[in-house]
Structure 1
């Protein structure tokens, strides 16, 4: 029988007496599956960050253990699965705090408004879970949008300037909220939706819809706040709207954060 005689350097005592808040791995690309409203399950590729708090007495962390944990739990990511992952990190590393961030593209099939032609649109999503005394989970979705400037419309003889934008919304939940639901809230708050594939009749519809629904970033974020306040499943939200300005050499933004319940 061959014994493992390799020196465990990470477990060596450290005498500098310094705790480290976060030690771990990041930019790990890994296949995952996410619950999908249309198809039940969607496969995608995630970029993962995992970390634990390192007590002052240990010199280092066994980084390979992060990979062991994610491979064990990577199948279908859910709230329950994330709770298991952060708890497994606490147990495996004998740590007091653990966290994981999973960033991934999420695809929704959309139907163009007039031609009804279908295509997929990508949304950037992130799950942020951590375990200290309690489990905490944030769902983040970034939604591409179309906005039309109200000021430009009022001061111009015809037309006005359009731009793409993005709404990034983060929520803490009392009950499950689907990615598609946050996407819908964001798209309804903009001047118009974005589509990957459109015909001329769709382009006409979208540009005219935006013209009839002009909104500043301030208008968009207020519309989002109204919708988020009405949803009792949301205990906290952080929303940020950004316009990629088409006639300026800068971008415009608005942001707002709120706890809806006192903890």
Structure 2
């Protein structure tokens, strides 16, 4: 520190607080910073991020923390190194080392959109998909906790609505051919291919899967794509990027073959996440933005680890 810096007043350090008390978290949120990640092709990718950096204020007699120290740690680490669990642990260690006399725990939260190149279902096309990601790391009492959260958009078609639509189609079929006892196969096929034949369709809607997973302390990399693939494979109907008519038809087939209430979607994801040994706990929420009514259908599930996400009590 320069002599001029030493001469500047530091009210947070020398002044006593008007009221004493320990504070759970103090720091900065929405710090603008880049995050560098290694892509599937082992090439580095940079994403603009918003970062939260916090420590507790364990000493009730101290007025404040050294926020500039948190900022400099974040800037120096994220500007030069790829984000991995080891880097996040080192960053939290730095938070506490720079507040050795004030704090006993540290928290880091990084929010950004992760881009993945996705191929079309049938046609020879591809496009980019953006997945909102939140990384949360905490260090307390020597224990390092790491949580990866993301959102996946998918399509859901209501099973009840599908059954009601099928009934209307049956009724129309009986009415249109009420005078005929025998029908040729091509005659039926032609009717099914007409607008009159498909006189009712089930309601379907864009839906959201919000997932938070706690990773084992010994994981060496962040499984962004693995987790995205896990959720999309479980649901089978992720929203698409580049879409030609053949892709749209294939997507219609996927929706028809994967009729889902929100409860079905939540259980599919629950089963898939249960099988990943890297995940110690998880919380998920399936939200169907219904086209039938103005409110959403929601289902929440968790692994139910004691002391973890508390059996899905967070909605």
| SS in structure 1 of the partner of residue 249 of structure 2 | helix
TM-score (norm 1): 0.94
Alignment of 1:166 with 2:169, yes or no, is no
Q: How does 1:9-28 map to 2 (within 5 A)?
A: 9-11=11-13, 12-14=15-17, 16-28=19-31
In 1, Cα distance between the equivalents of 2:278 and 2:92?
23
Report the alpha carbon displacement of residue 256 of structure 1 after superposing the two structures with TM: 1.2
The counterpart of 1:124, out of the listed 110, 132, 149, is 132
User: For each residue in 1:84-119, what CA deviation from the matched residue of structure 2 results, as whole angstroms up to 9, or x when unmatched?
Assistant: 111100111221011010011001100001112010
**Shift in Å at residue 244 of structure 1?**
1.4
Q: Deviations over 1:235-260 (max 9, x none)?
A: 11111111111221011111112245
Cα deviations across residues 111-139 of structure 1 (Å, max 9, x unaligned)? 00111201000001111001111111101
The answer to whether residue 117 in structure 2 is matched with residue 109 in structure 1 is yes
Is 2:267–2:301's contact at 8 Å kept on the other side of the alignment? no
> Which ranges in structure 2 are unaligned for 5 or more consecutive residues?
169-199, 309-315
SS across alignment from 2:303: strand
Which residue of the other structure, out of 148, 157, 162, is the alignment partner of 1:139?
Answer: 148
Q: Does 1:57 align with 2:61?
A: yes
Provide the secondary structure at the position in 2 that maps to 1:246: coil
1: CA distance between counterparts of 2:270 and 2:283? 9
Q: Which runs of 5+ in 1 are unaligned?
A: none
Is 2:157 aligned against 1:148? yes
The structure richer in helix per residue is 2
Q: How far 1:43 sits from its partner (Å)?
A: 1.1
- TM-score normalised to the size of structure 2? 0.79
Whether the aligned pair in 1 keeps the contact of 2:235 and 2:269 (CA below 8 Å) is no
| Distance in 2 of aligned mates of 1:248 and 1:197 | 29
Structure 2 SS opposite 1:93: coil
CA displacement 1:181-210 (0-9 Å, x = unmatched): 111121122251211221121111102210
Which structure is higher in strand share?
1
